[in-house]
Amino acid sequence: MIQKVKQKLFILVLLFFPFLTTAQESEKKDGIKFGGAVRYNIISTDYESSSDKTDPQFTWDTWRLNMDGSIGGIDLSFEYRFYPSSKTHFLKHGYFGYKFSDVVYGKLGVSQVPFGVLDYASHSYFFQAPYYVGLEDDYDMGIKFDITPTDDIDISLAYFRQAEPNGSGPDYSSRYAYDIVPGMGAIVDSEGNFKQAYASLSELNQFNARVAWRFVPNWEAGLSGQVGGIYNSELDKSTTSGAFAAHLLGSFSNFTLKSEFIHYNYRANDDAGNRIDVLQMGAYGGGYPGATADEAGNVNYTGCVATKANIYAVSLAYSIPVNWGPITNIQPYVDYSFVDKANEHFYDTQHLIPGFMVTAGPIYAYFDYAMGKNQPWLTDDFGKGLGSGVEDAEWNKRFNINIGYYF
């Protein structure tokens, strides 16, 4: 009861805080601008199985529509994406924005969760490991306030009632960012034995706070906190989950550095009320494969996502201005992530992605040599690795070229 009262008071403070400031007349001109992008992938893989005769593959990655503008001082930002290869489409973000003062800007709708390095912790096409557990470039439905009390400090406070709405598709995974969804998870006993456990889960009543400080020019340090409910519809009860991040990013000469540490604990129960060690997350029209069992019901391997872990991520890039016809910049980079799972019976996840980006007018092309170990997107057995993982996981490899035209 006390916890519910505290939640309601926090929400009320969050809702009415901006009105305590002085509203500012908008200096923006009324109007709506439309844009979008079309992207393709060229893929060549070296995974666990023998070579694929269709390799390399030329695939249609995505096409998207954007709408941004302002009318009467109220801003609008909207993006809808289509992924033909995944046979799904969905809203990436869509919100109303309003500048309450020179200090406070509010957003209502589906907006980016203020957590860790923004907007991305990576330089490559593949993101960093936090993305695959819902902690990088995540979007949810709620209200957010960006506050700039000084030129050197940024503060974000947000309340998200739920994850972003599901797009096309029959399940709960037609979305851009990974979120907790209903599905098969697992329970692990003290001897490392796995038991399948179905959990009817969703995200509910999440609170976020982020503070970033530019302590010297071009350098930023920050802390983020996240507390929210994981709701089980079968039990009609929520458990409390949490995450914490510390980040450092900056630029020197032509170098750019992004780094962060994340700890998360997704405390959740299955439909029988038991605490689970692995839960289901989904995006792009499908969840990670759930726990697999033999005829006797013994589970020897599980996909999905470990409920508790530390994540270390670092990305370094170097920008090279050029004048080669339409090409104006080449940016070599390297991304590295390590997921240290708390359960002693689980095996860690790593990925290492060297590559470079080429900028040519409206075209951005990423050339990546992605290497992953227990990485769910770098394996023949798609989606497995972030749960228990496997002890003898190979370093799988994928050469990927992503070419996008942005307008």
pLDDT number for residue 20: 47
Predicted confidence (pLDDT) at residue 285 exceeds the cutoff of 90: no
Confidence of residue 287 (pLDDT cuts 50, 70, 90): confident
pLDDT number for residue 339: 98
In the chain, the domains with their CATH numbers are: 2-406 (2.40.160.10)
More confident residue, 193 or 204: 204
Specify the 3-state DSSP secondary structure of 365: strand
pLDDT number for residue 29: 84
pLDDT number for residue 2: 46
Confidence of residue 17 (pLDDT cuts 50, 70, 90): low
Cα(237)–Cα(36) distance, integer angstroms: 41
Across 185-194, 226-235, 304-313, least confident range: 185-194
Instruction: Tell me if the pTM is above 0.85.
Output: yes
The rounded radius of gyration (Å) of the Cα atoms in the chain is: 22
CA 208, 122, 153, 77 dihedral sign is negative
One-letter amino acid for residue 287 of the chain: G
Cα(374)–Cα(173) distance, integer angstroms: 21
**CA-closest candidate to residue 303, choices 373, 353, 243, 375:** 375
Predicted confidence (pLDDT) at residue 336 exceeds the cutoff of 50: yes
pLDDT number for residue 192: 86
**CA-closest candidate to residue 309, choices 352, 269, 278, 274:** 278
φ/ψ bin of 310: left (φ > 0), alpha (ψ from -120 to 50), beta (otherwise): beta
pLDDT tens column, 20-59: 454 444 467 899 999 999 999 999 998 877 566 567 888 9
Residue carrying the six token digits 């030329």: 58
One-letter amino acid for residue 279 of the chain: L
Cα(313)–Cα(59) distance, integer angstroms: 29
Cα(266)–Cα(245) distance, integer angstroms: 15
- Tell me the mean pLDDT in the region 269-292: 89
Across 58-72, 185-199, 202-216, 303-317, least confident range: 185-199
In 130-289, DSSP assigns E strands to 139-150, 153-163, 179-180, 183-188, 194-199, 201-216, 219-232, 237-252, 255-265, 278-279, 281-283, 286-287
Cα(170)–Cα(373) distance, integer angstroms: 31
Consecutive H or E run containing 97: strand 88-99
Predicted confidence (pLDDT) at residue 272 exceeds the cutoff of 80: yes
pLDDT number for residue 302: 67
- Tell me the mean pLDDT in the region 83-105: 95
Residues 223 and 215 sit within 8 Å (Cβ to Cβ): no
Residues 144 and 118 sit within 8 Å (Cβ to Cβ): no
Q: How buried is 8 (Cβ within 10 angstroms: 0-12 exposed, 13-18 middle, 19+ buried)?
A: exposed
pLDDT number for residue 65: 97
Q: Mean pLDDT, the chain, as a whole number?
A: 90
- Tell me the mean pLDDT in the region 70-96: 95
Percent residues over pLDDT 70 in the chain = 89
pLDDT tens column, 243-257: 999 999 999 999 999
pLDDT number for residue 286: 82
Residues 167 and 273 sit within 8 Å (Cβ to Cβ): no
Q: How buried is 218 (Cβ within 10 angstroms: 0-12 exposed, 13-18 middle, 19+ buried)?
A: exposed
**CA-closest candidate to residue 28, choices 68, 78, 80:** 68
More confident residue, 55 or 165: 165
The token duo for 31 is 């109007």
- Tell me the mean pLDDT in the region 62-68: 96
